[in-house]
Every structure is written in structure tokens, then in C-alpha cells.
Amino acid sequence: MKSPLLMNNGLNLQAVFNLSELPESVMNTITEHALDLSSFKQLILLGHGGRRMWESLQHSEFADADHPVDHFSVDLVQRYFAEACRGRRYRIIYPCSKQLVPLQKLGELAGWHHASPFRVGVNEYWGSWFAYRAVVVADTEFVVTSRLSAPSPCEACSDKPCVSGCPANALSGNEGSLKPCVDYRLAEHSLCKDRCFSRMACPVASEHRYTMEQVNYHYTRSMQTIEEYYPK
């Protein structure tokens, strides 16, 4: 699947699974809303790492769309299948459907996703500067990708600058709770409306850190979601 179209436009993380070999828990989640997978053999997980996708997006027709990243990702997948997999049946189940897809679990199976104190997936190759962009089921016969075997970089990090870098001190306690983070982001004078200081303090693969334009975009979007679910 190392297609120039995908790689050159930033969908540079690709993992292929045989549907028949996925854990039952993953399959149950995907088929929870009666999604029929009988026509498909494989699941393809696509993500971006680093800044390339954002840079390519800015020069595309989707730069000013309501959800530019989703539209750009879907367009790349559609173009890829039209050009490289003509005649193959496929269905994009993320992001352009209401289908529940366990992205983090798929990322764990691919070896991309390790939990971090700031609750964003991290790996030694991209740090936290990657994201899941598309999930496709298809009747393809690609070679199944091997799981990345590197351990979590957090295990070797003794200083934990992500913890001390949080203005809300939200990572020092309340293990597993997002409430301190959410409460602080909702505060009138919060410093975290359009960025995460903890994530930016993480030293892992900092050379791939998003530009501030991209950081601001993603965190402004997440802030809108928080405000929707936690109205004042």
C-alpha cells in the first residue's frame, strides 16, 4: 500500500489487517450497528504522522471546507482505490459514516498507540504527532502488516515534562479522569483553548511537532466539542 499518492499527501501510516484475524471485541464494535462485512476481507487503518498532510491540505480544494481534514482524507482514499484498486469493493467506515470504530484499539494492534499521561496516543517514531484519519474495509488481498514492536517511550521518560507542563495541574492526580482538564479548558481565562501545553512539552519525536496553525486548528475544534457537551 505504499502508494505515492497517499505517502506524498501525508497518509504515511498504513496498517492492513485480515478481518478474520481481528479480535472478537474489535469486530463486535465495528458490527454493532449491523454493518455487513461479508463482502470484505481486510480492514485498512490509515493515519498521518508529522506535518506533511496538513501542508498538502492547504494546497487542496478542501482547505476552506467545514471539515477539511476529513474531506481531504476521504478524497485521498477514494482516489487511491480508483487508481490502484480499480474494481475492488471497499467501504470507508471512518470518518464518513456513523459507524463506531475503535481507533485506539486498532492503533494498539498496529503498534502505533501507547497511552500517555496527557491521554493522547504516543509512539517513538512520531511522538504524539500523528492521528487516525481513515478506516476502510475492502475485498483486497494486501500483505498484512507486521505490528510495530517498539515499547512506549513514556516508560523511559523519568522527568515527565508533560505532567509538570500542564497549567491546570490536571495530570498530577485523578488517574483516568478528564474532568480537571475539561474544567480548566472551559474556564474563562484558560491558556488551553487552542493548544495543549502538556502535549507540546513532550520531548518524543519533537521534530515532527505540528505547526502552531495545525495545533490551533485541532484544539479549537476539540474546544468546540467540549463546549457542546458541557454547556455553561
Question: pLDDT > 90: what percent of the chain?
Answer: 88
Q: On the CB side of 8, how many CA atoms lie within 13 Å of its CA?
A: 5
The three cell numbers locating residue 63: 482547505
Statement to judge: residues 126 and 177 lie in one domain:
no
Give the domain-ending residue among 115, 138, 161: 138
Domain count, the chain: 2
Residue 68: inside a domain: yes
Say yes or no to pLDDT of 148 above 90: yes
Q: Which domain holds residue 161?
A: 153-229
pLDDT value at position 142?
Answer: 96
Statement to judge: residues 24 and 117 lie in one domain:
yes
pLDDT value at position 174?
Answer: 58
> 160-180: per-residue pLDDT in tens?
999 999 999 999 875 557 889
pLDDT value at position 54?
Answer: 98
Statement to judge: residues 92 and 58 lie in one domain:
yes
> 13-71: per-residue pLDDT in tens?
999 999 999 999 999 999 887 788 999 999 999 999 999 999 999 999 999 999 999 99
Statement to judge: residues 128 and 206 lie in one domain:
no
Sheet order of strands, 130-138 included: 13-18, 42-49, 130-138, 90-94
Q: Give the C-alpha separation, 182 to 54, whole Å.
A: 26
CB 140, CB 41: distance < 8 Å: yes
pLDDT value at position 176?
Answer: 56
Q: What is the pTM assigned to this prediction? A: 0.94
Residue 206: inside a domain: yes
Nearest CA to 120 out of 159, 70, 171, 156 is that of: 171
